[in-house]
Structure 1
Amino acid sequence: MVEIPDSLQCLCTASVTEQAGSYRIEIPREEVEEGELDVGEFYRVGVLTHTTASSPSESLDAAPNTSPDAQQRPPVEEGDVREVTIETLGEQGDGIAKVERGYVIIVDGGQPGETVVVDIQTVRENVAFAEIATDDS
């Protein structure tokens, strides 16, 4: 099992391309726009080999007219109940938590440092909205 450090900023699938005598790994636009990456900054990059089951070419065979990024769905669904840790506050005072692949969950009433159980209310491509679950028992 690989240990993933708390400082992980981005986890995505990409291919290596050659350009002008060097090689390039492209980060999906959403990772910069919605994540914590800044254009022009330097980051350490770890590369994991893919297995046959996660090969981009296999994914393309399954859905020939879509890219691997387009096929990737949010890691949560409406109605899910998840335990999350609030990392920070958003501009409007809501708690911000991140789950798999850096996917953002905005939690109404969440406070930084809290670990809470939430009900996922609304899911969008790059963000979900949740409420802290109440114990009705």
Structure 2
Amino acid sequence: MEIPDNLRCLFSARVIEERDSYILEIPDREIETGNLQEGEKYRVALLGTEPTPTEDSTQRRAVEGPEPPVEEGENRTVDIEGIGEQGDGIARVERGYVIIVPETEKGERVTIEITDVKETVGFGEVVEREDYYL
């Protein structure tokens, strides 16, 4: 199974029966992080909770979650979209993946080196600042 780059988010959710239909619970964090907007329509794909023994490793990764779209040592040019609780800049790349960038300001465009990659967040250090955005 291929995971498209335009995948907005991936999470586990409970399906709830209500009258003649079913409801899929969306975690608050998906709205809070801006991955999804309340009132918008989205296409949804449902995956089983347990991979079968015949599924290949790509299918198992889809159930566990997609691979981060960045790698340690990679350089990226990003826009700092906001500031986190600790005062670090927050940038987003493919599929809404968050990268934390210390010593940046909202609105800056910077080239960063990815220094650490976790399942749901990455960390980067500024390599170069674009003066136009300061």
Corresponding position of 2:41: 45
Alpha-carbon deviation of 1:74? 0.8
Gaps of 5+ in 2: 1-5, 130-134
Indicate if the aligned counterparts of 1:12 and 1:27 stay in contact, CA closer than 8 A: no
Corresponding position of 2:111: 117
Residue 11 (structure 1) aligned with residue 5 (structure 2) = no
Indicate if the aligned counterparts of 2:78 and 2:112 stay in contact, CA closer than 8 A: yes
Residue 35 (structure 1) aligned with residue 29 (structure 2) = no
Q: Normalised by the size of structure 1, how large is the TM-score? A: 0.63
Superposed CA offset, 1:11-66 (max 9, x none):
1368xx6734213345468636x72479xx94312327x8xxxx958xx5223994
Indicate if the aligned counterparts of 2:88 and 2:103 stay in contact, CA closer than 8 A: yes
- Percent of aligned positions that are identical: 38
Separation of aligned partners in 1, 2:84 and 2:124: 13
Superposition RMSD on alpha carbons, in Å?
A: 3.8
- Matched to 1:85, the amino acid is D
Gaps of 5+ in 1: 5-9
Alpha-carbon distance change, 69 to 132 in structure 1, aligned in 2, over 3 angstroms: farther
Residue 78 (structure 1) aligned with residue 78 (structure 2) = no
Separation of aligned partners in 1, 2:70 and 2:124: 11
Separation of aligned partners in 2, 1:12 and 1:93: 25
Q: Normalised by the size of structure 2, how large is the TM-score? A: 0.65
- Matched to 1:129, the amino acid is F
